[in-house]
Structure 1
Amino acid sequence: MTIHFEYSKPQVIQALRYHFITRPEIRIMLILVNVFAAASILLYALGKVTAVAFLVSSFLWVMLMVSFWFIMPGLVYRRSETFQHAFSMRFEKDDFTLAHERGERSWPWSSLAEFKESPNFFHLYFDTRSFFLVPKSGCKDSDEVQELRHLLRDNIKK
């Protein structure tokens, strides 16, 4: 199976948001910050903290959300040259190959630790921080997306 694709900036930004939000350490931090924000609202309503303390905690909450939703995905997108190229990706029995105008590289299926699926992409993880986004738009139709999904499930052992 071979697919051809280019990246769409809005879709890549959304996929990077998905990546960050699914990281366990970020998810735990977001939960703790939301609990902290809820506690600060409650304590302010009960008159236990001043308005300044409530505003500072609200500002920290907003900055954290903005950084995970806008700043981090934007930085990764701008720093990565990968998203500016057109690619071909060939999936075979023993390996998969990524190619573009500068050359190609193959990896055995065993080099992938896991894959995740978001609305527009398959996220192929080599390790917890190194991954490659494969756009579903590279597939001809929904049947080919389904075939690729099964191929990934069969070859990537969790």
Structure 2
Amino acid sequence: MTETLPQPAALPPLPPLPMIELGPQAFAAVHALHGAVEEAATTAGLDPLLLELVRLRCSQLNGCVYCVGLHTDSARKAGERDDRLAELVVWRESGLFSPRERAALALAEAVTRLTDRAEGTRARRAAQAVLSEPEAAFVAWAATVVNTYNRIAVTSRPVATETP
């Protein structure tokens, strides 16, 4: 007969880390950076809906439930179709995304997951084939900014109960 050992008691959840409340100037600077990137991306000719897909994909990778909801809603309001939103998580296997979108998504993923340098090189080459240099740069900037927002949102929410 197998005996069940008692489990250690769960630690209480941690309260949110109030990054925004304790660093309003820093958050305002992130927000200003977002505005500057949006303006420059528009000037570079990037479609706002493509940038929304980039932000949504980065948020999916980062596991930021707040930002996934926000960017899904924003993409829908901008006219994105539900089938494309549903397949964004598997965009490489989907036939619903254009070469420009695929290149932008690959570049955004490479910016989000910095540990795979080869992935970054492949993504840069793919972007170079279909995006202008300014377009590629502002896709990377958009990914950088949303990754910052994701980290703020994820870090600022309550931390679930843990076991030691």
TM-score of the aligned structures, taking structure 1 as reference length = 0.32
The higher relative CO (CA closer than 8 Å, separation ≥ 6) is in 2
The structure where helix makes up a greater share of residues is 2
The structure where strand makes up a greater share of residues is 1
